[in-house]
């Protein structure tokens, strides 16, 4: 087994419970890690024998573009797509961070981490 990570995917999106968040949006960071058997791809050097991180990034970008009130909902959608589209994945973890959240304080980020396994 091995792990493929795509870290610090930076996006601008419109998630949140406040009406103003739907209008002005904010910056987000997403980190993903997937557990996959990498033995075959390590030998064959073939993209079709592994999980393409371009595909992981594409799923993150598409799901982050769909407005949600909660980060939990976004993270769950990302995980669900990983497992439905990429059969090689055995386990996955997704972290969705809202940078400078509007919570009335000097807070760098809030984040939600969800994991799922087959």
Helices of type H across the chain:
19-24, 39-44, 53-64, 71-85
* CATH number of 2-117, picked from 3.30.1130.10, 2.60.40.10, 1.20.120.1630, 3.30.430.20: 3.30.1130.10
Reading the block at residue 99, the tokens are 């940078």
Give the pLDDT of residue 90: 97
Give the pLDDT of residue 101: 86
Give the pLDDT of residue 21: 86
Give the pLDDT of residue 19: 87
Mean pLDDT by 10 residues, the chain (118 residues): 97 92 93 97 96 97 97 98 97 96 86 96
Cβ-contact 1, 36 below 8 angstroms? yes
Give the pLDDT of residue 106: 87
What is the residue extent of each domain of the chain?
A: 2-117
Residue 52 contacts by C-beta under 8 Å, 6 or more apart in sequence?
A: none
69 φ, ψ (degrees, to nearest 5): -75, -40
pTM confidence score: 0.93
87 φ, ψ (degrees, to nearest 5): -60, -20
Distance CA 61, CA 14 (A): 13
Give the pLDDT of residue 105: 83
How remote is the C-alpha of 73 from its chain's centroid? 11
Cβ-contact 55, 86 below 8 angstroms? yes
Place of tokens 């610090």: 8
């Amino acid at each position: 087994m091995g792990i493929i990570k795509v870290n610090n995917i930076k996006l601008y999106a419109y998630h949140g419970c406040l009406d103003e968040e739907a209008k002005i949006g904010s910056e987000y960071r997403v980190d993903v890690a997937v557990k996959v058997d990498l033995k075959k791809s390590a030998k064959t050097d073939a993209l079709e024998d592994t999980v393409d991180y371009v595909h992981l990034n594409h799923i993150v970008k598409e799901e982050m573009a769909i407005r949600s009130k909660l980060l939990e909902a976004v993270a769950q959608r990302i995980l669900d797509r990983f497992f439905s589209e990429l059969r090689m994945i055995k386990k996955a973890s997704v972290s969705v961070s809202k940078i400078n959240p509007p919570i009335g304080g000097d807070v760098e980020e809030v984040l939600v981490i969800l994991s799922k396994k087959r």
